[in-house]
């Protein structure tokens, strides 16, 4: 396991607004408007369903939208089918779909969260496939790219990803402070090619890029 991207600038800790997000991500005004609809829906539904940590609502554009967007530039050219495991409120999968991912599969077992994802898709005019199912029992998706955020320890993520990955697939996992310990444990059961990309949204976070996944 090797490969480290050049260090990114430490993100500013002040809340990010929509315009600052647009400058950082260079998305179009039309895309920004769709994300603003998403943000409004998230705030509205949060009153009834615990979709995200309440403290993150004051910094949606950094903690959720920028955090999700940063995955997109890491995707290999030609990737078509994506699978977002444990989508929850749609991060990063729904954001990536709004940003133009060709085919996005959102996998979520909670029916209320699936209802929220469906509402976001309708209100923003975004084409996604929502699977209300457990990751380990859903028929294999044969995805070119697999994403997940704050879902499970790495060893379990790799097991699920192995089930749903197409040959030569890339996994892009948003991980936090425990990642090195998780990597040590995962290396006992898996061989893989790894790159660590410093997070654009969280000084303590990284994006793990995993390829060549095989069971030991």
Does the model's pTM come out above 0.85?
Answer: yes
pLDDT of residue 50: 93
Residue 165 lies in a domain: yes
Residue 35 lies in a domain: no
| Mean pLDDT for all residues in the chain | 93
Residue 194 lies in a domain: yes
Q: Which CATH number does the domain housing residue 207 bear?
A: 3.40.50.150
Question: E strands, the chain, where?
Answer: 81-85, 103-108, 129-132, 143-149, 165-175, 190-198, 206-215
Residue 118 lies in a domain: yes
Percent over 90 (pLDDT), the chain: 91
pLDDT of residue 5: 43
Q: What is the pLDDT of residues 135-155, one digit of tens each?
A: 999 999 999 999 999 899 999
Between 44 and 9, residue with greater pLDDT: 44
pLDDT of residue 4: 37
Q: What is the pLDDT of residues 200-210, one digit of tens each?
A: 999 999 999 99
Residues in the chain, overall count: 216
Residue 44 lies in a domain: no
Residue 145 lies in a domain: yes
Residue 155 lies in a domain: yes
pLDDT of residue 10: 39
pLDDT of residue 12: 52
Number of domains composing the chain: 1
Q: What is the pLDDT of residues 67-105, one digit of tens each?
A: 999 999 999 999 999 999 999 999 999 999 999 999 999
Domain containing 203 equals: 67-215
The secondary structure of the chain in percent helix, strand, coil, rounded to multiples of 5, reads 40, 25, 35
Q: Which of 5-9, 11-15, 18-22, 37-41 has the lowest mean pLDDT?
A: 5-9
The number of angstroms, rounded, from the C-alpha of 138 to the middle of its chain's C-alpha atoms is: 19
Residue 32 lies in a domain: no
Percent over 70 (pLDDT), the chain: 94
pLDDT of residue 14: 80
pLDDT tier for residue 13 given thresholds of 50, 70 and 90: low
Q: How far is CA 143 from CA 36, 82, 165, in A?
A: 28, 5, 5
pLDDT tier for residue 183 given thresholds of 50, 70 and 90: very high
Mean pLDDT (whole number) for 6-18: 64
């Amino acid at each position: 396991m090797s490969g480290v991207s050049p260090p990114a600038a430490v993100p500013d800790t002040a809340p990010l607004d929509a315009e600052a997000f647009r400058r950082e991500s260079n998305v179009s005004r039309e895309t920004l408007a769709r994300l603003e609809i998403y943000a409004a829906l998230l705030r509205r539904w949060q009153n009834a369903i615990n979709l995200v940590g309440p403290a993150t609502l004051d910094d949606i554009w950094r903690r959720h939208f920028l955090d999700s967007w940063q995955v997109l530039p890491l995707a290999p050219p030609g990737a078509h089918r994506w699978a977002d495991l444990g989508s929850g409120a749609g991060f990063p999968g729904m954001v990536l779909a709004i940003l133009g991912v060709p085919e996005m599969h959102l996998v979520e077992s909670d029916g209320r969260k699936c209802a929220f994802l469906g509402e976001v898709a309708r209100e923003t005019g975004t084409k996604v496939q929502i699977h209300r199912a457990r990751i380990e029992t859903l028929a294999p998706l044969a995805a070119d790219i697999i994403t997940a955020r704050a879902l499970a320890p790495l060893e379990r993520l790799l097991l699920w990803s192995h089930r749903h990955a197409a040959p030569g697939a890339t996994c892009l996992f948003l991980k936090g402070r425990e990642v090195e310990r998780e990597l040590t444990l995962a290396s006992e059961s898996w061989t893989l090619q790894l790159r660590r990309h410093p997070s654009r949204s969280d000084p303590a976070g990284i994006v793990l890029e995993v390829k060549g996944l095989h069971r030991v």
